[in-house]
Amino acid sequence: MTNQEALMENPSPAHEITEEDRLRADLYDYLGVILSRPPEQKLLDQTAGLSGGDTDLGTAIGALARIAGHSKARAVESEFNALFIGLGRGELLPYASYYLTGFLNEKPLAGLRRDMAARSMTRAQNVYEPEDNIASLMEMMAGMITGRYGKPASLADQKQFFGKHIGPWAGHFFTDLEAATNSVFYASVGAVGRVYMDIEAQGFRMSAG
C-alpha cells in the first residue's frame, strides 16, 4: 500500500472552507491514513475515542471506535499484511484498475494520472505504488476539498473526480474489506468506508454542480 506522503503537496496558504467540508476532508484523510499502512497504537487509541451518532455513519464509526479500543498495533499490523501484502499478494487488491478491469495498471490508472496532472497532483519521488490505490484516492479527495494542491476544488470538480475515479468501485472495495476473511479491525473500517462512499455519492447526485 502507499504511504500517506505519496503525493507531494504544493505549498499554499490555508483556505477557508465550511465546517461540513472540513469534516468530509477529515474522514477522507482518516481513511487514507488507516489504509496506507498499519496504524500505530496512538492512532488506534485516537480511533477508540471517536464517537458516533444515530445515523448509519455514526453507528459505523461507533463500532469502529469500540473495536479499536480492544485492538493492539501488532495484531492490526498482522491483519493489514494479510489483507494487503501477503505472500505474493494479499487477500484484496485495492486498486481502481483491478476492480474496474480485472488487471493492474490499466486504463483507469492512465486516466487518473491525466486528471492528477490537470490538478497539480504529483506522486512523490520515492513512492512506486500505483496512484489508483484506495488510500491515495482518499487522500486526493481530502486534498481537493481543503485546497491542499492549490485551492479548494469546486463541488462540480469534486463530483467529476469522485464519479470517475472513486464512485464506480470504492464502495465495492469497502464491502469486500468488511467481509474479508482476514478482516477484524478492518471490517469496521470497511463498514465506515462503505457507508461514507454511499453518502458522498448521494450528496453529489443531489448537487447542482
Assign 3-class secondary structure to the chain. CCCCCCEECCCCCCCCCCHHHHHHHHHHHHHHHHHHCCCCHHHHHHHHCCCCCCCHHHHHHHHHHHHHHCCCHHHHHHHHHHHHCCCCCCCCCCEHHHHHHCCCCCHHHHHHHHHHHHCCCEECCCCCCCCCEHHHHHHHHHHHHHCCCCCCCCHHHHHHHHHHHCCCCHHHHHHHHHHCCCCCHHHHHHHHHHHHHHHHHHHHHHCCC
Residue 16: its pLDDT value, please?
A: 82
Residue 209: its pLDDT value, please?
A: 57
**Average pLDDT, stretch 89-102?**
95
In a domain, 125, yes or no: yes
In a domain, 18, yes or no: no
In a domain, 1, yes or no: no
- Tell me the residue range of the domain where 149 lies: 25-206
pLDDT at 88 over 80: no
Count of domains forming the chain: 1
Residue 111: its pLDDT value, please?
A: 96
Average of per-residue pLDDT values in the chain: 91
The CATH number for 131's domain is 1.10.3480.10
pTM recorded for the entire structure? 0.91
In a domain, 86, yes or no: yes
